[in-house]
Chain A
């Protein structure tokens, strides 16, 4: 009986050691990896699904993209970073929640607080006007009209306090143009109301422009990059009009850099980085991203500090044009 007991004990101990070894050897990932996307369903989410699908194929797992909109993307970021730091949650780190909201005092983090995986995509904005506008022929004339008629013009940047709002407000400030911002929750409706002459001018993204290139006139591309100018069929850029916003490269553009919780183990982070870099280099992924109207970015994690740090510094030093806009509109009312 004693022998049987010893054998049982040995078998149990062996089983325990084997199970522990298997667990230790278990390869990441063992289950689905969630990507938290900070906006509602739409083009940007479709783009994230393209990247997530390719990255999941590289890792041999599914990567569902979960839409968690709210508070300019900060709800998604808070939720993602509140999940366990095991690499099974990735945040689709758009500039608004990652950099802009902390600058505006609406979030208590800094871009340095997270571990970057890789840059994903960028999206250039432009200011569009109506096609048959008789009050002005170009952007400079629009600004002159606006200066003469303070508070008379209506424009939209989509949501309030987002990057397009901040950049457009800065442009208007540099011309002394006071116009009423009208917030919208759906970008498509901005485009619709611009077309039906409810708005005088508005921000537009490449996707909306490409759908109806004959319905609006692009007055100013909010980027200095040649690729952005090309996306808007050669419309004038801020660089060409000599508008100095103190923003360069990705500064005035929307972009996303996928990030994970800073406490994520290094080996897991490296695995995710490798998979994302391989996914972003795939021709089918690049083609799909470009089809949606986004620009694929090929910076790896080593460039995070340099690129995102530069945008952070630029946005920090450009001053709060949103506060200026509010103050000037307040004086008129």
Chain B
């Protein structure tokens, strides 16, 4: 059956138009991903009118390649500039940026691109071989499971907070708080909108991320004394060496890709959660000498393989059930409908050539990503040679264009600036920024699914232990919480004892 799909798909895929548009899609994707503000969704929306005029497989190749390239492109600006091009790459800067600061920018981008491509290919293998099984498993994820999964995701804050867990948790709470702004979908009441219609749907996540990370980073850069200096950065093309470097982390690569595919397959979960979760798991499993947060290659491998594997995962429910995994795949689903194909089980039976063609363009996109990404890396790294006096205003301009383009809204620009100021204050007080993003993304998932579960339940909170997967997640969450509390207390006692020992030895 799978072979039939692939051979039928190969015939339609091997056309200059399909191959050419898939390659163009990767270039467009890398560009929209790397530009702060824009991202794969915006790329797909902007180019949908072009795609719907093409033959089906070429059209889907173009759009899927934008999705794949855009999911990876954000890592470029995260690594080089400490600005995630998309929220998907917010976790990549933990280790990508320090790696670049150590003079290994080309290596870091090479690892990010290779991990993205391999993660995407692993997601693709799952898509091709397990789509119906994974789709039916994911279809059984109901509000109680989503709520417990969101709680699990919040634990990532503790792992990624680094220095101070309390500061990380406070930043996470801030993210949860700002996620409450807007219209409450349950009561249709307005929360913290202060009479402004611009706040009826809350804050746009991209405006917040660009403000928090990009504006505050540019402000920090402006305080430096090297604004006019032309940095002497060695620009080189990453070779096969980066592929070897990435493959050294094969356990991390496979585990993170599996996490990414899983989160992708669950409609509504998305790539941001998968990249943070993969990073948290990789960090927790790493040896201390790997120094996560200080330029560990494994950190880049974890986040980038996960967020690109998520693309393959989101295509599972989109193609197999006709249920989009996220906003980008919702647009892909719309494109398929316009092209005359109804995603779902019937499409697998009636149009095996198109299904096979989509599988092929997805796999090819990831291979093209590796080729185009590696070839283009010197161009990206060249950005670091631009003196900051030119670089900073250019980045601020790009951030503004990207943020405005989201909804053609000046209000989003104002939000970007406000969160830029908040980001500056956070940095000044040494509060981590990433937990804000986690809180903001997981907040609505947790709140909506908790309330939804309680509306569905006929026995109150017992619904969370009535269902097997939800029960397992409740137990896992309980164990994780207990472990974290235990470790925190142990660490606190350990530091008290060492302080006491120090004091005693000083007395002697």
Residues of A within 8 A of B (CB): 34, 40-43, 45-47, 49-50, 52-53, 64-72, 74-75, 78-79, 82, 106, 152, 154, 159-161, 180-186, 188-189, 191-193, 195-196, 198-199, 207-208, 210-214, 287-288, 291-293
Contacts and interface: CB of A to CB of B under 8 A. Distances in A.
Q: How large is the interface on B (under 10, 10 to 19, 20 to 34, 35 or more residues)?
A: 35 or more
B324 A42 contact: yes
A70 B183 contact: yes
Interface stretch (B40-48, B283-291, B488-496): B40-48
Given A67-B45, A192-B321, A198-B456, A41 B186 contact: no
B408 to A, nearest CB: 5
Contacts of A82: 197
Interface in B445-469: 448, 452, 455-456, 458
Nearest to A49: B48
B190 interface: yes
Nearest to A185: B185
B323 interface: yes
12 contacts: A42-B327, A43-B330, A64-B46, A69-B201, A70-B182, A70-B183, A70-B200, A71-B200, A75-B197, A154-B456, A189-B323, A193-B143
Among B45, B48, B338, B409, max chain A CB count under 10 A is at B338
A191 B323 contact: yes
Among A192, A198, A208, max chain B CB count under 10 A is at A192
A330 to B, nearest CB: 13
Given A45-B334, A47-B334, A196-B140, A212 B200 contact: no
B201 A71 contact: yes
Contacts of A152: 458
A43 B333 contact: yes
Nearest to A45: B334
Interface string B48-64: 11001000000000000
A72 B188 contact: yes
A40 B326 CA distance: 11
Contacts of B201: 68-71, 75
Contacts of A184: 452
A200 to B, nearest CB: 10
Interface string B121-149: 00000000000000000011011000000
Given A182-B452, A198-B456, A292-B337, 17 more contacts: A41-B45, A42-B324, A42-B330, A43-B333, A43-B334, A45-B334, A46-B338, A47-B338, A70-B200, A71-B188, A78-B200, A160-B187, A180-B456, A183-B186, A193-B143, A208-B322, A292-B334
Contacts of A192: 139, 267, 317, 321, 323
Contacts of A74: 197, 200
B52 A42 contact: no
Nearest to B140: A196
B259 interface: no
A159 B267 contact: no
Among A53, A160, A212, max chain B CB count under 10 A is at A212
B188 A180 contact: no
A300 to B, nearest CB: 24
A161 B190 CA distance: 14
Nearest to A69: B201
Interchain residue pairs A-B with the least CB separation, the first 4: A46-B334, A211-B322, A70-B201, A211-B344
Contact of A154 (B46, B188, B455): B455
B339 interface: yes
Contact of B407 (A68, A191, A210, A291): A68
B342 interface: yes
A42 B183 CA distance: 20
A210 B333 CA distance: 13
B193 to A, nearest CB: 9
B343 interface: yes
Nearest to A191: B323
B500 interface: no
Nearest to B187: A160
B158 interface: no
Given A75-B201, A189-B267, A41 B182 contact: no
A79 B412 CA distance: 13
B271 to A, nearest CB: 15
A57 B46 CA distance: 16
B183 A71 contact: yes
